Structure formats: structure tokens, C-alpha cells
Structure 1
Amino acid sequence: MKSACYKDKSLLQKTIENVLIGGVDEAGRGSVIGPLIVAGICIGKNGISRLHKLGIRDSKTLTPMARENFFGNIVELANSVCISKFDCHEVDSYVFFNGLNELEATGMAEVINNIHADRIYVDACDINLERYKNSIKKYLWTPKPRIYCLHHADCLNVVVSAASIVAKIIRDNEVERIRKIYHDIGSGYPSDKKTMFFIKKWVTRYKSAPHFARKSWRPLRNLLESESASAY
């Protein structure tokens, strides 16, 4: 896991605003190509009002250009912004041994530890919200904030919506780096025929998976198993 904080003025801002709100979300959970990104932001009351006025909403409902425009606004308004990145080999390791939800919980905790918010809203991937909250809490070393895990939090809470935009922008940039080298890779998701065509050609040619793809994903595992069987 790699993490980075873009800015952190939370401790100074806390003397002005009583409560700082955090939002945490991920991008790339279901992708077969590229990293999983977890993003968290912390913002005060005035900043939240500005997010609403800007029309911030779930990143999946926005065009790439709108996300880019909002990204700058979010970074400017936020007290802190923190990112955790998990490369494909890390995703594979957790999928095979601990489960993807546990990996996300470590990433959520990492950003929560660094954004210094009093209340945190998390877009939960586990059907059991209390179980997911407890998974996150295991990895917290910061003084425990109040954590609220919600399904579809990126649609319900504007701070989580902002975090979803940050996560999506960072992930899109990572995928674009791969695309510049390998070109026609599609969106990176297994539902994309262009992506699966690219991976199938790679596996047929090199008899292995690309280093930027997740071997734990069943579509890729099926291709690898099929290629291995055809060799005999």
C-alpha cells in the first residue's frame, strides 16, 4: 500500500470550526486492470456548504471533464486529502487469503488516520455495516473518530461524493499511464470487451498475466487456466 496526503490544514482549521467531517470512498474495486484507490477528505462546515453549491455528486454520474473541474475545487476547499493505492499484486494477495473487503478496510483506516476528521462517513462495501466498521477500527491508531458506514454513501453524503471524485481521478490517471504504454486496454473492467480482448491477446502471447492486471479475478484466471491446459 502506498499513501499520500496532498494537504493538511485540519488542526489549524479546527480552532475556527467545531467539527470537521470526513468522507471516504474507493475507485477500481471491480477492475481487472490497474490499482485500487481509496481516497479520504476532511472538510469543515463552510466547505461542505460550498460543495453543495458547486453541485458535487457521486463521481459515477459525472463526465470525465466535470470530475476534473470538481477535483480542483475539492482540493482547494478540503482541510486535508489523503490517498491510499493498492497495486494488483496487493489486491491479489488479499483476495486469495483475507478477502477484498479486508484490504479496503486497511485502506479506509489509513486515510482516516491521516485526515484528522471528527466524524467520518464511509461508503461501505460489506453488506453488514457494523462488521465493516469494526474491520476499519482494527487498523486505526488515531484518536477514534465517530465512523458511520453507509451503503451508497457516495450518493447520500456530499463529502463522500467529493472523496469518490478524488479516488476516481487518481485511478483514471493511473490507468492512463498504463494506456500510454500499452495503448488499447479499454476501461480496465472485465465487462469491457476491449479490455478482455487485450488481456486475452497478452495471455496467448506471453503465457502469463500482465503485471498491471489482477490474477485473482475470475475472467483472467479462466484465461490463464485455459492457456495452461492448451499447452498439454
Structure 2
Amino acid sequence: MKVAGIDEAGKGPVIGPMCIGGVLVEESKINALKNLGVADSKKIAPKKRGQLASQIEKYSEKIFVFEVSPQQIDEFRRLMSMNDIMVLAFSKVLEELHPDEAYVDAADVKEERFGKRLLQEYAKKHPERAKDISIVSRHQADAIYPVVSAASIVAKVRRDALIEDIKKEIGIDFGSGYPSDPKTKQFLKDWFREHGELPDIVRHSWKTVDNLMNKEK
């Protein structure tokens, strides 16, 4: 039986893409993942995450990371809520992996509702497969199921790499990209004062941006 874990990295930041990671393994390999010491990616040092990501690859049937750019997030948010976006993005990963069983980190206050909506979305394109798939949707699934921990690590490693690329490209270290990061706040303020607008690496639909615009105006 093929089992998938799905988790996101970068749902909350005001800068950079969101990455949804998916890891597909044979059920018999789940213990091997556990023995690697996979855990919630936020609790693992960046260097260790990188090492784990390459080990996870050895045990996986398939790894897939779906990237959603800041512009895409802004576009989607005109039409739907962040929860709706999460359902669509997780569904893209599910479609790529086609597991028999999926464990997902619920991106909704109601974990069961997220699982049901994900299954419905998947069923739109794959009605036959959807009849046989089982989806377990839990909060903090990355701390409970090794296969979700693995997905969490893969997603975080990809997002971190993309963030480093952006920093090199613009030649500025803007910190983590999270609204609460003083370095990120300062970067947004300085850039806006200099250019009169914010770059396309920023999610313009975030409240942080609204607040900044209102203050600066």
C-alpha cells in the first residue's frame, strides 16, 4: 500500500512563495522514516533539515513540491479564502502522488472538514480513485505521522532555498519573510519609501501590506 504525507511551508509569510510538500512511500518504509528522526520541520535546524531531505528521498517512491507564488496567492485571494487555496494546493499534490492513503496537516480550524473538502476536490478530476482513497486530516499531523513530518521537511527545505534565491537576486537580506520579523518589517518599509510600491516577491493581499500603506500615506 502506498501512503502519502502532505504539509505546507510558508502559509503565513508576507514574502515569498508557499510550498506544499508531498512524500509518497510504501507502507513498509514508514518505520525507516521514523528511524531517521523526522519531526516537525520547524523544530529541526536548517542544516539537519537539508540532510534529512536527501535521506527521505532514498526511502520515497515519489516526492513532489507544489509552489504557489505571491502573485498567485494574491490572485486567488480575490476569489476565495486562504482555506480554499489550501484545499486546492493540497489537492494538486494528491493528484501528483495518487496514494492509497493520505495523511495531511489540516489547514482549517476544523480538521475533519479539511479532509472532506480535500477528498471532494480530488474527486472532481479522479472520481474512480477517490472512492478508494482514505484521507486522515489532523492538526499538527507533522508531529504525529512520520510521513507528514517528511513532507513538512521537504516543503520547508524547498521554501528556504527559494527564499535564499530571492535574497541573492535582490541583494538584500529581508529575514524570514514573516510579518512578525523585525528585519522583514524594516525591509518592507525601506523598499516602499524608496520605490513607492512593493516588489512582486511580496504578498500584496496581506494585512501587513495594508497597514504599511496606510501608515506611509
TM-score in terms of structure 1 length: 0.87
Deviating runs (4+, > 3 A) in structure 1? none
**Alignment-derived partner of residue 3 in structure 1:** none
Amino acid at match of 1:49: N
Displacement, 1:117?
Answer: 1.1
Question: How far apart, in 2, do the equivalents of 1:93 and 1:129 lie?
Answer: 25
- Segment drifting more, 91-100 vs 168-177: 91-100
Task: Name the structure 2 match of 1:67.
Answer: 49
- What secondary structure does 1:117 align onto? coil
Give 1:196's match in structure 2, choosing from 185, 193, 199: 185
Which residue number corresponds to residue 87 of structure 1? 69
- 1:207 offset after TM fit, Å? 1.2
Structure 1 gaps, min length 5: 1-18
Q: How far apart are 1:20 and its partner, in Å? A: 1.3
Structure 2 residue runs without a partner (length 5+) = none
Larger proportion of helix: 2
Structure 2 distance, partners of 1:218, 1:92, is 12
Which of 28, 46, 52 matches 2:10? Answer: 28
Structure 1 counterpart of 2:121, one-letter code: Y
> 8 Å contact 2:112–2:138 — kept in the other structure?
no
Counterpart in the other structure of 1:57: 39
The 5 A counterparts of 1:85-164 are 85-140=67-122, 141-142=125-126, 143-144=129-130, 145-164=133-152
Name the % identity.
34
Which region of structure 1 is more displaced relative to structure 2, 196-205 or 218-227?
Answer: 218-227
Deviates more, 1:80-89 or 1:163-172: 80-89
TM-score (norm 2): 0.93
Cα distance, 1:226 vs. partner? 2.8
Q: Distance in 1 between matches of 2:8 and 2:72?
A: 15
Count of residue correspondences: 210
Q: CA RMSD in A?
A: 1.2
* Greater RCO structure (CA 8 Å; 6+ sep): 2
